[in-house]
Structure 1
């Protein structure tokens, strides 16, 4: 297709659904690798095979990587130009990817209305500090679901000490102004929720507590889910500054401010955002998230729904045609929201 015809096709594309999704603060989540150096039991691995399963069964494998660093950058830049300004880098553990350095240091400036966030388990931040310090990231978000070696082992199946994660948080704070924490509420860490909260407040780190989202990968551990009610009640004894945010996409959240530090709770009873495709979806009863992210994987896929791999769009053949790539994603999102995908 000539450049003129490609531009013509792009003009005929209905961009409304994609632009609305972006305006509602929808995320572009870029999974640099499905590989991780730990194996948390609840990990959905952005719809790839979770590390704990590949460790337990050597016949299971992650999707084979097809992307080079420049392919990731092509997709990111193309979709950012299409309106998706909030980019999150995930894994697996993104800092285990051999492409992490070239991708993260090769990013175009985020601009005043954009942002780049690295989501990490923290264990490799110090190791990658020499180059990570030069990446144009706006924020590092570290997962802190444990506060002792025993709990780290129970949750992540690792022999690493939890001090490795805490040192990673220190290293992140040395490099970046914005560092945040997230913590999944579960029976395994119920006894450490308050110490984790105290740590965040003492370090003046915003923290998000999250109720478990059930997936096909963690159904055998559904009893580990810990409701947020007790935490919410405790937070109300610490502050009267509380409000609820349900705008945009994704789950609603309760936001508390304690001595100037934001603590928010992803609370399943605050509602969720679903779109057309979700109406007849056979997995809707299992879904508590709705459509809040477009997930890019290292095998050329773009997926609007965590639980539906059959809705994954492969764009490998469009990497050399950014206009067509953007149009294909816009049409995919339109079909998803209209329930015709």
Structure 2
């Protein structure tokens, strides 16, 4: 596990890097818990111990929780006040967290340019529907990397059936106007990709197909990755409405519209878009994502790159001073941009 950096704040804070990140629609990813009720083999848990490793070796546990619901809400409010408007709730599985209800039902107003998105595997949405329906979420994004009991078991190592996932999608659609799907392209689901696409189109749900990002954790499973060329070729038989978006942070994406439904494909051939922040990063040549999210975790850390655990900053005590919290994070990002971390 990488060593967390202590808080260090310069007398004068340069807000430019944080404001640029926000202007380019960077995300605040709030990891409510590293725990999950399934164990997808590709999960790297963004620098915490992923569920597959804990399942194989119980001595390998993720960080202990430090934050309570009020701490999460303070961080969210502080960063939104500083200009970061797009907030995504992740895990592990966020609905696995005992704090999920208290956080998601007490979110501060997001404002006209803000948004709250829940990313979930869908298996517990129906269980939490009663309180979740009152959460001020703008969008729910359900991971659908499988379309049968067999592929779900192989990919996620679970006995939960695919009907539970699909019912979670239905429950999400009953509560929220915007529900989207995302699907990693893998050898284990290659035979189901068209079925997943058809499922989305029939329900007029946007879906995103994503090439597997290589990380230190899944290097041994690199042969499971499938190129996006197959789904791109198939989508071109369905529509001529296609364009590429490379603005903002992260990877570029190829966007299709099929009967008005947006289908995104993210793949490395579109290049990396580091928006200036990553110029001095020592792993830039290996990176395929760029700096596109600030990750807040349940153990009081925040880091400006999901694959750079060495950049994780301990802000545990700063929830007592929200204004200082934002300025410390801004200074940390400025140092990352300048290559002085």
Q: TM-score range by the shorter chain?
A: over 0.9
Superposition pairs of residues 250-265 of structure 1, within 5 angstroms = 250-265=250-265
Unaligned runs of 5+ in 2: 1-8
Calculate the TM-score normalised by the size of structure 1. Answer: 0.95
Summarize deviations over 1:228-253 as a string: whole Å, max 9, x none: 00110110000000000000000000
Superposition pairs of residues 31-70 of structure 1, within 5 angstroms = 31-70=31-70
Q: Return closer, same or farther for 1:19/1:279 CA change in 2, 3 Å cut-off.
A: closer
Calculate the TM-score normalised by the size of structure 2. Answer: 0.95
Number of residues of Structure 1 aligned to a counterpart in Structure 2: 333
Indicate conservation of the 8 Å contact 1:272/1:289, yes or no: yes
**Structure 1 position 213 matched with structure 2 position 219:** no
**Structure 1 position 134 matched with structure 2 position 134:** yes
Q: Tell me how far apart the structure 2 counterparts of residues 282 and 244 of structure 1 sit (CA, whole Å).
A: 28
**Structure 2 equivalent of residue 203 of structure 1:** 203
**Structure 1 equivalent of residue 232 of structure 2:** 232
**Structure 1 position 173 matched with structure 2 position 197:** no
Q: Return closer, same or farther for 1:321/1:154 CA change in 2, 3 Å cut-off.
A: same
Q: Return closer, same or farther for 1:80/1:227 CA change in 2, 3 Å cut-off.
A: same
Superposition pairs of residues 19-30 of structure 1, within 5 angstroms = 19-30=19-30
Higher helix proportion: 1
Indicate conservation of the 8 Å contact 1:211/1:228, yes or no: yes
Give, in angstroms, the shift of residue 276 of structure 1: 6.2
Give, in angstroms, the shift of residue 83 of structure 1: 0.3
**Structure 2 equivalent of residue 162 of structure 1:** 162
Q: Tell me how far apart the structure 1 counterparts of residues 289 and 89 of structure 2 sit (CA, whole Å).
A: 19
Summarize deviations over 1:102-153 as a string: whole Å, max 9, x none: 0000101111100000000000000000100000000000000000000000
What SS does structure 2 have at the residue aligned with 1:329?
Answer: helix
**Structure 2 equivalent of residue 286 of structure 1:** 286
Q: Tell me how far apart the structure 1 counterparts of residues 198 and 46 of structure 2 sit (CA, whole Å).
A: 30
Q: Tell me how far apart the structure 2 counterparts of residues 331 and 285 of structure 1 sit (CA, whole Å).
A: 25
Q: Tell me how far apart the structure 2 counterparts of residues 27 and 236 of structure 1 sit (CA, whole Å).
A: 30
**Structure 2 equivalent of residue 80 of structure 1:** 80
Summarize deviations over 1:68-118 as a string: whole Å, max 9, x none: 000000000000000000000000000000000000001011111000000
Give, in angstroms, the shift of residue 285 of structure 1: 3.6
Q: Tell me how far apart the structure 2 counterparts of residues 111 and 78 of structure 1 sit (CA, whole Å).
A: 14
State the structure with bigger RCO (CA 8 A, min sep 6), 1 or 2: 2
**Structure 1 equivalent of residue 5 of structure 2:** none
Indicate conservation of the 8 Å contact 1:46/1:91, yes or no: no
Q: Tell me how far apart the structure 1 counterparts of residues 175 and 131 of structure 2 sit (CA, whole Å).
A: 11
CA-based RMSD: 1.4
**Structure 2 equivalent of residue 186 of structure 1:** 186
What SS does structure 1 have at the residue aligned with 2:255?
Answer: strand
Q: Return closer, same or farther for 1:10/1:112 CA change in 2, 3 Å cut-off.
A: farther
Summarize deviations over 1:7-57 as a string: whole Å, max 9, x none: xx9994211110000000100000000000000011121221110100001
**Structure 2 equivalent of residue 109 of structure 1:** 109
What SS does structure 2 have at the residue aligned with 1:147?
Answer: coil
**Structure 2 equivalent of residue 339 of structure 1:** 339
Indicate conservation of the 8 Å contact 2:17/2:277, yes or no: no
